[in-house]
């Protein structure tokens, strides 16, 4: 190509360069448009994810309320049914006694006075029997009145049982409706994340390798922290943490309980930082069947109960880990770590930034035995009591 004074000598070459320049400009324009469209798509996805997060938290709260109401109604129904059985049995006994006494009175009333004299017994016994039966009549009237009152009470009790049974059926229907809505929303979130994510897949693969190499929870946390500091870490680079001076045991209480409670910024519904509604069946530090002490708490939940993040944090691990089953590990803003396991399904993924109350998974739908959720809190790698002192003393938890 020849140049003269900055001009192209060959007009054909000049036209070719001009065409190439126009093609490049068009490609650049298309790329800018594509980038702008991708940015808009990312913004829409971010907005939709935020809406899904907020809606998910609202649905989880609604599920908690319906579950608490269902528990209350079931307890009330059981108490009323027991009371109804007790009253029915007592009334049956009293009716039998009253019927026997009335039968005796009726027989005496049908006997003429002259016949009483002919009865082969001393006259004073006959007179005494008549006096006793006459004195029994007012008592029988009082007993009949009390029996009528008991019958009215029993009738009202049965009406209350019927009403509460109806309320319970509606509550259970509402509970199932909200659970299905939450499941649909979770599936929608997962589909959206699949479209907007790619880098996290490699991180998830590396984390799966780490979990396969880790011998216990302390080693897994150590490896996850190393991976966070060095994202290029591969599963083959796993090395166990340095040996601690003491074996891993449950700490009786955190060093500063007030700071612990404040730092958790718990999802309160309506008390305590807890990931699921239920009853604590194994407390922190309790002796386990194998002789060790519990490093966390076990919570008996309703079937298919939602499991939520007790506080905001980042998902460091989501998957199966030996001895824990389905496990989610959250890193909190204060660098503590929350471990939640026992779920049948996990809806969180590694790298998720979750909010307090955001669904993480769902318990098993088993009705033969109540599923149990495991909840553990670790500070500097060591287990501490995950519940504030007041909540730890109660065996009922309400989220």
One DSSP character per residue, 367-390 reads: SSS--EEEEEEEETTEEE--S-HH
21-30, 145-154, 155-164, 274-283: range with lowest mean pLDDT: 21-30
Other CB atoms within a 10 A radius of the CB of residue 392 amount to 19
The residue count of the chain comes to 399
pLDDT for the residue numbered 124: 60
Instruction: Give the mean model confidence (pLDDT) for residues 9-20.
Output: 66
CA 122 from centroid of its chain's CA atoms:
78
Taking the whole predicted model, whether its pTM rises above 0.95 is answered as no
Residue pLDDT, tens place only, 235-281: 334 344 344 334 444 443 333 333 333 333 333 333 346 898 888 89
- Longest CA pairwise span in the chain (Å): 159
Nearest Cα neighbor of 349 from 191, 144, 216, 184 is: 191
State the pLDDT confidence band at 24, using cuts at 50, 70 and 90. Answer: low
Q: How far apart are CA 183 and CA 361, in angstroms?
A: 9
**Cross-strand partners of 337:** 331, 378
Share of the chain above pLDDT 90, in %: 7
Other CB atoms within a 10 A radius of the CB of residue 76 amount to 15
State the pLDDT confidence band at 291, using cuts at 50, 70 and 90. Answer: confident
Q: Is the pLDDT of residue 317 over 80?
A: yes
For tokens 């039998």, name the residue: 96
Q: How far apart are CA 316 and CA 381, in angstroms?
A: 14
pLDDT for the residue numbered 111: 59
DSSP characters over 107-129: HHHHS-HHHHHHSSS-HHHHHHH
Q: How far apart are CA 83 and CA 157, in angstroms?
A: 9
**Cross-strand partners of 308:** 359
Strands 3-4 and 7-8: antiparallel
Instruction: Give the mean model confidence (pLDDT) for residues 126-143.
Output: 67
pLDDT for the residue numbered 297: 92
211-215, 287-291, 394-398: range with lowest mean pLDDT: 394-398
**Cross-strand partners of 317:** 329
For tokens 């069947």, name the residue: 289
pLDDT for the residue numbered 161: 78
State the pLDDT confidence band at 373, using cuts at 50, 70 and 90. Answer: very high
Domain assignments of the chain as residue spans, ordered by start: 53-194, 207-397
pLDDT for the residue numbered 368: 65
pLDDT for the residue numbered 209: 57
Residue pLDDT, tens place only, 82-117: 877 887 777 777 777 777 776 766 666 665 655 555
Note whether 217 and 338 are within 8 A (CB): no
Q: How far apart are CA 129 and CA 60, in angstroms?
A: 72
Note whether 175 and 70 are within 8 A (CB): yes
The arrangement of secondary structure in 207-397, i.e. its CATH architecture, is Distorted Sandwich (2.70)
60-64, 79-83, 99-103: range with lowest mean pLDDT: 99-103
Q: How far apart are CA 223 and CA 226, in angstroms?
A: 5
């Amino acid at each position: 190509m020849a140049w003269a004074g900055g001009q192209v000598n060959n007009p054909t070459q000049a036209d070719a360069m001009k065409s190439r320049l126009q093609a490049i400009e068009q490609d650049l324009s298309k790329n800018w448009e594509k980038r702008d469209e991708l940015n808009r798509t990312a913004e829409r996805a971010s907005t939709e994810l935020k809406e899904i997060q907020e809606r998910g938290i609202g649905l989880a709260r609604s599920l908690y309320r319906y579950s608490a109401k269902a528990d209350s109604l079931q307890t009330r129904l059981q108490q009323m049914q027991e009371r109804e059985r007790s009253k029915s049995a007592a009334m049956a006994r009293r009716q039998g006694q009253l019927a026997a006494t009335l039968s005796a009175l009726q027989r005496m009333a049908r006997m003429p006075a002259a016949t009483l004299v002919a009865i082969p017994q001393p006259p004073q016994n006959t007179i005494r029997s008549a006096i006793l039966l006459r004195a029994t009549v007012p008592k029988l009237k009082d007993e009949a009145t009390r029996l009528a009152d008991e019958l009215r009470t029993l009738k009202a009790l049965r009406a209350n049982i019927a009403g509460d049974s109806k309320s319970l059926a509606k509550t259970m229907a509402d509970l199932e409706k909200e659970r299905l809505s939450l499941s649909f929303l979770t599936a929608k979130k997962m589909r959206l994340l699949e479209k907007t994510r790619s880098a996290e897949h490699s991180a998830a693969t590396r984390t799966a390798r780490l979990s396969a190499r880790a011998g216990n929870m302390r080693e897994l946390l150590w490896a996850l922290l190393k991976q966070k500091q060095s994202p290029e870490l591969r599963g083959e680079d796993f090395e166990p943490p340095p040996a601690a001076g003491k074996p891993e045991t449950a700490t009786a209480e955190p060093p500063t309980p007030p700071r612990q409670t404040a730092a958790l910024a718990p999802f309160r519904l309506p008390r305590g930082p807890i990931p699921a509604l239920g009853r604590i069946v194994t407390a922190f530090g309790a002796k386990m069947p194998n002789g060790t002490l519990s490093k966390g708490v076990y919570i008996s939940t309703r079937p298919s109960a939602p499991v939520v993040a007790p506080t905001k944090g980042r998902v460091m691990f989501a998957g199966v880990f030996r001895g824990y089953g389905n496990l989610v590990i959250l890193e909190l803003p204060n660098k503590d770590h929350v471990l939640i396991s026992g779920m049948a399904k996990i809806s969180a993924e590694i790298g998720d930034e979750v909010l307090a109350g955001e669904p993480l998974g769902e318990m098993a739908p088993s009705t033969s035995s109540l599923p149990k959720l495991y909840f553990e809190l670790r500070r500097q790698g060591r287990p501490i009591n995950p519940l504030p002192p007041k909540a730890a003393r109660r065996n009922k938890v309400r989220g």
